[in-house]
Structure 1
Amino acid sequence: MKKKLFVLGSLVLAFFSAVANPADSVRIKGIPYPCSWINTPKNFNAAADSLSITAGQGSDFYNYPGGNYNIATAPILVFKPDENFVLTAKIKVDFKKTYDGGAIYVMVDSTQYIKFLFENSHYGKLAICSGVTNTYTDDSNNAITTKNEVYFRLAKSGNMFGLFYSLEGKNWEAVRLVNFVPKAPIRVGFSSQSPLGETCTSTFSEIVYTPGVFKDAKTGGM
């Protein structure tokens, strides 16, 4: 993810409740439930076979591990999932600036969430990252690729969440398994971010959502 190079201000732990009005509901292919926004995107398109989200300038979701900095401005399109599930999607990002990225979230509020991110890292490489936030973000770069698209899989079985990736959608590798105990009902969603750039568009396609527990801790398969 990121190591901020600018001066960190006071830590503000902002709580939110993203309850959408009926008119704000969004339907996307592959997800059987209505979706709503946490933070408004600069633009989005829920096409017949994909979802694209354009984040505006300075958009991010991050709680610096050392304290003194918190930001919760990235747009996230979320839905209420089943108790257990497996969610798979291909993410393609029009990388321009450092820290541009597309992500899948498990969201409670701005102080507790899981962020599974495909990012243009500060090392100048495209990185598969993950972070678990319980007040502060556990920040980790997990793998690199030269392609601007990758497959992500998020799987839940009770309080165990699995994060997996694949470069071609067939051979999966585990990023992490984490026991995550939410303090309130979770929502799951898709996001784009551009902390240092003007805009970043992330496109999610081949979205497959299946209720039920995952059994394979190596691939996230059911």
Structure 2
Amino acid sequence: MKKKFLVLGSLILAFCSAMATPADSIRIKGIPYPCSWINTPQNFNVAGDSLTITAANGSDFYNYPGGNYNIATAPILTFKPDENFVLTAKIRVDFKKTYDGGAIYVMADSTQYIKFLFENSHYGKFAVCSGVTNTYTDDSNNATTIKNEVYFRLAKSGNMFGLFYSPEGKTWEAIRLVNFVPKAPIRIGFSSQSPLGENCTSVFSEITYTPGTFKDAKTGGM
């Protein structure tokens, strides 16, 4: 992926300054806490338990493993979660260009985050991807699908985070389990990105959020 070069220190400053004020709080059915933006989207809409985000050209969140470039421009609608939780949502993406995608984030800051992404990959397939960033991003394509929609589940138990996906919302597969120790309080977020395209719209629906630890490491179930 060709990314915009940014200085790491400027990334952190931009991240902090982009946090929305309390007056910008947004409510989504299924999420018991107010949400606010990191970076402003081109457009968005909330209708019940459905959230639509349109990201503009050049939007992405990625810290290249080789250390040559970093980008932190994707709009992310975030909320502060409970200590442990399970979050599930259906993601449908209006794929147009390579690397268009919709994602769920665990965000400490712009140098430490988990990105769970449904992306139009450079292999020409719709890919379920994941990346864990601790200064640099490890970047992994984990599964593919022919449909432009998929179900994601993000679950937390202590410092263990589980990432799961399902084609139809019934049968679940684990993408990865990761021990992630944030250096700052985390926020959970929904995002859309379009690094190379004109824009990209991602729709998150059937959003459910339940406080508590997950017990099943294969499905993320409680």
TM-score bin, normalised by smaller chain:
over 0.9
2:182 matched residue in structure 1:
182
The letter for the 1-side match of 2:8 is: V
CA distance in structure 2 between the aligned counterparts of 1:95 and 1:186, rounded to whole angstroms: 29
Q: Secondary structure at the match of 1:28?
A: coil
Shift of 1:29: 1.2
CA distance in structure 2 between the aligned counterparts of 1:19 and 1:120, rounded to whole angstroms: 28
2:127 matched residue in structure 1:
127
Do the aligned residues in 2 keep the contact of 1:11 with 1:68 (CA within 8 Å)?
no
1:79 matched residue in structure 2:
79
1:61 matched residue in structure 2:
61
2:167 matched residue in structure 1:
167
CA distance in structure 2 between the aligned counterparts of 1:69 and 1:144, rounded to whole angstroms: 27
Do the aligned residues in 2 keep the contact of 1:90 with 1:152 (CA within 8 Å)?
yes
Do the aligned residues in 1 keep the contact of 2:19 with 2:39 (CA within 8 Å)?
no
Q: Secondary structure at the match of 1:188?
A: strand
Q: How many residues align?
A: 218
CA distance in structure 1 between the aligned counterparts of 2:61 and 2:6, rounded to whole angstroms: 16
Q: Secondary structure at the match of 2:178?
A: strand
CA distance in structure 2 between the aligned counterparts of 1:35 and 1:25, rounded to whole angstroms: 5
2:153 matched residue in structure 1:
153
The question of 1:31 aligning with 2:27 is answered: no
CA distance in structure 2 between the aligned counterparts of 1:5 and 1:38, rounded to whole angstroms: 22
The letter for the 2-side match of 1:109 is: D
Shift of 1:125: 0.3
2:213 matched residue in structure 1:
213
Shift of 1:22: 2.7
The alignment yields a C-alpha RMSD, in angstroms, of: 1.2
The letter for the 2-side match of 1:71 is: I
2:8 matched residue in structure 1:
12
CA distance in structure 2 between the aligned counterparts of 1:159 and 1:22, rounded to whole angstroms: 28
Percent identity, aligned pairs only? 83
1:138 matched residue in structure 2:
138
CA distance in structure 1 between the aligned counterparts of 2:130 and 2:140, rounded to whole angstroms: 6
Gaps of 5+ in 1: none
CA distance in structure 2 between the aligned counterparts of 1:113 and 1:25, rounded to whole angstroms: 22
Higher helix content, 1 or 2: 2
Task: Write out per-residue CA displacement over residues 135-191 of structure 1, whole angstroms, 9 at most, x where no aligned residue.
Answer: 000100000000000000000000000000000000000000000000000000100
Do the aligned residues in 2 keep the contact of 1:114 with 1:132 (CA within 8 Å)?
yes
Do the aligned residues in 2 keep the contact of 1:54 with 1:201 (CA within 8 Å)?
yes
Q: Secondary structure at the match of 2:184?
A: coil
CA distance in structure 2 between the aligned counterparts of 1:82 and 1:10, rounded to whole angstroms: 32
Q: Secondary structure at the match of 1:156?
A: strand
CA distance in structure 2 between the aligned counterparts of 1:32 and 1:52, rounded to whole angstroms: 18
